[in-house]
Structure 1
Amino acid sequence: MSQAHQKFVQLHKALNASLIERDEEIACLLVALAAGEHLLLVGPPGTAKSALCNSLLDSLSGEIAYFERLLGKYSKPEELFGPPSLKALKDDRFEHKIEGFLPSAHLSFVDEIGKASPAIINSLLTIMNERKFDNGPDRIDCPLRILVAASNEWPVGEGFETCGAMFDRFLLRKAVSYVTPLSLKDVIFAELSKVPEILSLEDIDAAVAESASIPWSESGKEAYLKILDRLRSEGIRPSDRRCRKSARLARAAAWLRGASEVLPEHLEVLQHALWEDPVEHPQKVSEVVIEVSNPGAKKLAQLLVEARELVESVNTRNVTGETYGQLAKLTEVCNKLRDLPGDRAKEAHAKILGQAKELNQAVLRA
């Protein structure tokens, strides 16, 4: 295990301890960071989208250039790329003063990214895809390691036509929802730990280099091609660029798990990458990816959905015979989770078991 890998493991634990019910979002963030890619989070206000990025910022040591901006309908390019240089204008050149703005940042968070104007999008595409910025006649290098963006809604209709190209540059795109009612108490009252300084820029660069060198197993290759074939049969055809770049995500996922090669189980993260239409595709892609990459994960996902519905339906203030029936079903789900193999199933079992105990205690007190 390399030093960079050890630090990413530490960061994973620290982020999970600092946020409630954001396991999948944290996993996506770390995969994006280790793959040298960008992440888009979409969900209603107040779902810890910016908190996740701020926690990542807290974890970084050394001199980190951070840029954050909330876009609006009338946001101008200089709000992201810096004001015009008066000195350059005197020489009949148009250049931005980029210090303190996105082109000079290592880490960036842009909220309401869907409101970006075409003028903003044009420059943003080059920064995201090539880590370059056209500043007047010069194309300069950008030190950006990751851009995390957020939006309250997916771009559709005219919105998709306007920012579709930028939307495509986010290789990972994850929907975010509110926490379950049972976890709301922790959100309100729990003393969440602050993420300590763990990572340096050098650690991030090492992670990108190390993960890129992870080889593919034959079973991993076969599983990936099978996923793409199944998606085509469903009418879903990711671009060639997206298919190739998504392979980097699988390598990063394998590296984060300490694997020596990419196996089918490391392809699960691709459920957040291999789709184009944010309205119709995500659910289909998720089903195909999970079924091919990790059949056991499909059963795990079904049990977690069932557990979540049961937890949300239990009314501890008005205890009836139905309440006890729901608790009994929740116990059955816990037992099924206990019997599933793998670390994720073990973690899920511990989490649901804890929720079941809390509900039982609440019912006894009622």
Structure 2
Amino acid sequence: MAATAVPVQSRGDLVLADPASPVATVPAAPQILVPATLSTTLDSRPLDLSPLAGPLAKIAQIEAWLGTELIEREEATRVALTALLSGQHAAFIGPPGTAKSLLILLLAQAFDLSKFITLCSPHSKLEDLMGPLRLSQLPHDIYERLTNAYMPASQLVFLDEVFNLSGSLAQTTHRLMNEREFDNGNRVERAPLISVFGASNQIPQTPDSAAFLDRFSFRLWLGYVSRTNFPRLMALYANRPSSAVLRVLAHNMPIFASQHGLLTLAPPPVTLGQDELFSLMWAAAHIPIPQSILSTLDKLYDDLAGKGIYVSDRRWRQSQDALRVNALLDGRGIVTNDDIAVYTNMFWTTREQRVTIAQVVERLGNPLAVAAVDKRDQAKTAYDAAIAAQADTDLDSGRKMNATVEALGKLKETAQSLEALLAQAQQQAMNPTKIQRALDAVQGWRKELSEYVL
């Protein structure tokens, strides 16, 4: 992973190319690509990510794989990866059966990390999370726990139904989640923890659980798969053996399961090693945030405050790491307006706040996408009116035809406007995804209405 540029000045952990060069470069590094110290001042030029082409390709494969395994969970997948690569924590909230647990279980397979997974309840005890007492030490008045294979010794932690934990038990995780330290007997253990993922069926309501939610930098609401993608969901699992049956066989007939390769979870296409993960985290920590983005964050602060949404200084600081990781996952060595989208899943405490934050973030981060959604909604109104006319038994065929032709004209005009926005977004290097989705929706409505005039 040696950098190809000739270094002329050093920042301790990054080597900068000639000052006239438009990019900073990642230097040669040992097996685990993490320096002893990180620099305190970043270069303003984009970071050259080419030495990390291998790990970046793997993480892209993992993200794409999760997108095929989980319907309508692309945003949740990006949140999970961003949390992991920024060393932060994420909570996934939504009704039962929305693939919250499945997402994390699949994600855990793709990373070569020590893992701790448990189901929380109001009756969970300290030893369920931190490990049992070391009985051999009790006669010596040493109150020490066997932490191996428990939360203090794990890199990736998944707490299912996380907000079922009692307030006192949740409080014991505070130092571990924040400082990565655990008081064990008469000594302090350094914890290798990278990220804690939590899942819950509901947004916390009690003061204790709400305070616990604040330790999760990311929080995402997951609903059921839409009617549009329901056929995809059914087709995905119709082409596979029953996972419930496979699990029963694997647990009751382990030799048979091993011989026949029975898997209860789909295997990832690749596995990201620790050295690769840490090299990506190292690079992300050094991706610059331009002054233009800081100015946008000033506007975001004012807009949110104007709507009664206030965010702690700590959360604002943490959010910058999310910006950098999102840029890395998109293959960019510098933060741009597209990365502002991460704030949609960082600052809310109610679903109503999430909607408000999403609207503000989209307007500041990608105004072209906001314009596209508005145009799509206007086109949907015309489409709905035409469909209603076709279903109206009081209208004659001529009036139905006129309503459909009028709607088709509106949809054609909207499609042309969206194509122009798409070209503008590509020219300005803005994320075109929402514009493309809006265009696809309008084209689909055009095709459907065209069948009435053929």
Once the 2 structures are TM-superposed, how far is the Cα of residue 29 of structure 1 from its aligned partner? Answer: 1.2
Pick the aligned partner of 1:234 from 283, 296, 307. 307
Conservation of the 8 A alpha-carbon contact between 2:372 and 2:435 = no
Indicate the residue corresponding to 2:111 in structure 1.
60
1:83 is aligned to 2:156: no
Correspondence for 1:180: 226
The one-character-per-residue Cα deviations of 1:163-222 (angstroms, maximum 9, x if unpaired) are 233211111111111111121222122248642233112222122111110111121111
Name the Cα RMSD after superposition. 3.3
Instruction: Give the TM-score taking structure 1 as reference length.
Output: 0.84
Counterpart amino acid of residue 288 in structure 2: P
Aligned to 2:119: 70
Alignment partner, residue 82 of structure 2: 31
Which residue of 199, 203, 207 maps to 2:272? 199
In 1, Cα distance between the equivalents of 2:375 and 2:88? Answer: 31
Q: Secondary structure of 1:169's match? A: coil
| Structure 2 portions without partners, runs of 5+ | 1-49, 241-265, 394-399, 426-431
Which of 337, 340, 356 is the equivalent residue of 1:264?
A: 337
Tell me if 1:106 matches 2:194: no
Indicate yes or no: 2:366 matched with 1:294: yes
Q: 1:153 aligns with which of 178, 202, 220?
A: 202
| Map of 1:344 onto structure 2 | 433
- Asked if 1:216 is matched to 2:297, the reply is no
Shift in alpha-carbon separation, 1:66–1:84, aligned structure 2, 3 A: same
Equivalent position amino acid for 2:309 in 1: I
- Describe the shift of the 1:59–1:349 C-alpha distance in structure 2 as closer, same or farther (beyond 3 A): farther
Identity of aligned residues (%): 28
AA in 2 matched with 1:60: F
Q: Return the index of the structure with the highest Cα Rg.
A: 2
Report what 2:165 is aligned to. Answer: 116
Structure with the larger helix share: 1
How far the C-alpha of 1:339 sits from its partner, in A, is: 4.3
Post-superposition offset of 1:224:
1.0
Contact persistence 2:114–2:155 (CA under 8 A): yes
Distance (Å, rounded) in 1 between the aligned partners of 2:411 and 2:229: 16
Structure 1 residues without counterparts, runs of 5 or longer: none
Change in CA separation of 1:303 and 1:6 when aligned onto 2, cut-off 3 Å? farther
Conserved 8 A contact 1:60-1:198: yes
Q: CA offset at residue 305 of structure 1?
A: 7.2
How many angstroms does 1:4 deviate by? 2.5
Aligned mate of 1:246, from 297, 311, 319: 319
Asked if 1:144 corresponds to 2:144, the answer is no
Distance, in Å, in 1 between the alignment partners of 2:413 and 2:184 is 61
Q: Give the equivalent residue in structure 1 for 2:63.
A: 12
Post-superposition Cα deviations, 1:228-264, rounded to whole Å, max 9, x if no partner, equal 1211222221001011111111111112222232122
With CA pairs under 8 Å and 6+ residues apart, which has the higher RCO, 1 or 2? 1
The residue aligned with 1:281 is 353
Asked whether the equivalents of residues 20 and 187 of structure 1 are also in contact (C-alpha less than 8 Å), the reply is yes
Structure 1 residues 185 and 298, CA gap change in structure 2 (3 angstroms): same
What displacement does 1:267 show?
Answer: 1.0
